[in-house]
Amino acid sequence: MNAFRRNVPLLAACQALMMSSTSLIIATAALVGFALAEEKSWATLPLAAQFIATMFTTIPAALLMDRIGRKQGFMLASFFGISGAVFATLAILKAKFSLFTLGTIQIGIFNGFGNYYRFAAADAVDKELKGRAISYIMAGGVVAAIVGPNLANMTRGVVANAPFAGSYASLVILYM
């Protein structure tokens, strides 16, 4: 029970923050893409690129974390999340569509690792608490459904003449 009280709330918070950033991106990426893309039909490419990066990262993330451990894997993933949020913010400030897409790809890589928070929680507790631990982690989605879009709305105008730059800058804090 001690491992449950120590690890599960931390992993649940990590899951909630990861999913909050994903819901923020879902709410904003097409709008930002539309504003930045010269060819408007490419507006949803950054969001698609994020999900494709997540898909292609999931299995390599599992293999890497098997070799180096989940803690180190999650820390490495944070580097991708933070740098992706920085790139996305700079892309909005400099009006660079390709840099924004690169940022969303890096965030997708972070998400590929983040999908393993629930397994880390299940492995951290006794057998009889595994289901409960996974439930706590997955409850982060409920938190994210509220936090992400509201964070996007509250921070969208923080940087004058660069809508949503503040939103993506706020992701740096979430990933830290």
Residue 144's CATH number: 1.20.1250.20
Return the structure tokens found at 69: 């451990």
Q: Write the Ramachandran bin of 98: left for phi over 0, alpha for psi from -120 to 50, otherwise beta.
A: alpha
C-alpha torsion sign, points 32, 99, 171, 114:
positive
Q: Are 85 and 103 in contact (CB under 8 A)?
A: yes
Can you give 89-142 as a three-state secondary structure string? Answer: HHHHHHCCHHHHHHHHHHHHHHHHHHCCHHHHHHHHCCHHHHHHHHHHHHCHHH
How many folded domains does the chain comprise? 1
pLDDT number for residue 86: 98
For residues 67 and 123, is the Cβ–Cβ distance under 8 A?
Answer: no
- % of the chain at pLDDT higher than 90: 74
Name the residue range of residue 67's domain. 2-175
Q: 144-166: per-residue pLDDT in tens?
A: 889 999 999 999 999 989 999 99
Greatest distance between any 2 Cα atoms in the chain: 55
Instruction: Encode pLDDT of 98-132 as tens digits.
Output: 999 999 999 999 999 999 998 898 888 888 888 88
Q: The pTM is what?
A: 0.92
Residues 6+ away with beta carbon under 8 Å from 94 = none
CA angle (114 as vertex; 34, 163 as ends), nearest 5: 25
- CA-to-CA distance for 78 and 61, rounded, in angstroms? 13
